[in-house]
Structure formats: structure tokens, C-alpha cells
Amino acid sequence: MAYSTLIKSCVIAASVLLTACASSPQAIQLAPKFSAPSARVVNGSPVHVRVSDQRQNKVLGSRGGAYPETSVVTIGNDLSLAVEKSLAAHMAAMGYATDSLSADTVDLHVIFDSLVYDHRKEEGVGYDMDMLAAVNVVASRGNEHYEGRYRVKRKQKFFKAPSNPDNIEQVNGLVVEVLNSMFEDPKLVGFLRNK
């Protein structure tokens, strides 16, 4: 009886130890939140916003741990719909007419081709998360076109494994950062405003 109890205790202890060394997968709900613009910087320029998810790899990366192949991070909702809704609302707050049917409306097509949030190494102290977001943007008005590519890449160190809320905050922040970089391109902004 004592031997059976000892075996059970060892199995439970081993299970707890393995669980502690493993990270579970996470499907992040994408809901990027932009800071409110300080003022309406545009006076009604018409824009139609579209977002496409053309990433070759739908897995963002791994959370690390003893079994990185089972601790993957993915997007749990539709990237295109989530980003399109947030981006259109942000541009409306900036003063763009995002629901205009005007003939000179700009079709703004934002294409995500890369989104990475990955912890690759276990060596050293802490967790280094590699982060990358890249979008191609095609703006069209009649026969006029403007294309741009915007990219954000950084590495952030956590002293302990990032929690689920940490991961959600970082990935949504990365999306906002790469989209904000579009508005730092004076040529794109000039095209959107028809200037």
C-alpha cells in the first residue's frame, strides 16, 4: 500500500514539474487601440480602408519553455477585420471621411505580410522576445497610386516569462506601432489628403 502511494506521489510530482517547465499555447485576440489624436488634423479627406492578412506563416512564434513547439502564439480572431475596424475608427478621429462615397475617395489597402512575436532562446537571464511587424500599403485614387512599405522590429527583454496579458498587450502594441509609422510618411499622407 505504501509502495503504491509512493509511486502515485512520484508521478504527481513529475507531472507538476513538467507542467512548470512547459508553456501552453496562446491565441491572442487582436484589438489594436490607438491613442486619441490631439486634434482633427484632416478636413474630411475621403478614404476607404481595407486590410488584408497575407502572412505566409500564421504562427506568431513560441512562448518558449521546455517544449517550444507546443507553446505557439497565434491570432485568435480575424486579423483583417480587427485591424480594419480599429484603423478606420482612428482615421475618422483624425478627420478623414472613412464612409464617403465621393468619386475621389482614396482606396487605402494595408497588407500585413509579417507579424512575429517569438522567444527563441533559453540561455541567459530573462526572456528575449523578438518582435516584427511589416505591412505593404497601396493607396489608389483613379489612375493615381502610391505604395509604401513600413516595418517595425525590436527585441524586448522580460525578466520572467511574459504572461497572457503581457503577450496581448505587446502584440496589439506592435500592430499599432507599424500602422502609426504609415502616418509618419509625408508622401503617403500627402496622397491621402490629395495634396
Query: pLDDT 10s per residue in the chain (195 long)?
Result: 455 554 454 444 433 333 334 568 999 999 999 999 887 888 899 999 999 999 999 999 987 655 456 679 999 999 999 999 999 999 999 999 998 888 899 999 999 999 999 987 666 667 788 999 999 999 999 999 999 999 999 988 887 878 899 999 999 999 999 999 999 999 999 999 988
Residue among 34, 169, 137 at smallest CA distance from 89: 34
Give dist(CA 74, CA 72) in Å, integer: 7
Give dist(CA 91, CA 137) in Å, integer: 15
Q: What is the pLDDT of residue 101?
A: 85
Residue among 167, 159, 79, 83 at smallest CA distance from 118: 167
Give the CA distances from residue 147 to residues 78, 114, 127, 141, 183, in Å, rounded to whole numbers and listed in that order: 24, 17, 36, 12, 13
Q: What is the pLDDT of residue 35?
A: 95
Q: What is the pLDDT of residue 158?
A: 81
Give the cell for residue 131. 518582435
50 within 8 A of 2, measured Cβ to Cβ: no
Helix, strand or coil for residue 170? helix
Tell whether the torsion through CA atoms of 78, 79, 83 and 86 is positive or negative: positive
Task: Specify the residue for cell string 502610391.
Answer: 146
Q: Which domains does the chain have, with CATH numbers?
A: 2-192 (3.40.50)
Number of H helices, E strands in the chain: 4, 7
Phi (first) and psi of residue 132, to 5 degrees: -150, 135
| Residue 166: CB atoms within 10 Å | 15
175 within 8 A of 83, measured Cβ to Cβ: yes
Q: What is the pLDDT of residue 71?
A: 79
Q: What is the pLDDT of residue 162?
A: 83
- Spatial strand order in the sheet of 59-62: 26-28, 72-75, 59-62
Cα atoms in the 13 Å half-sphere on the side-chain side of 162: 25
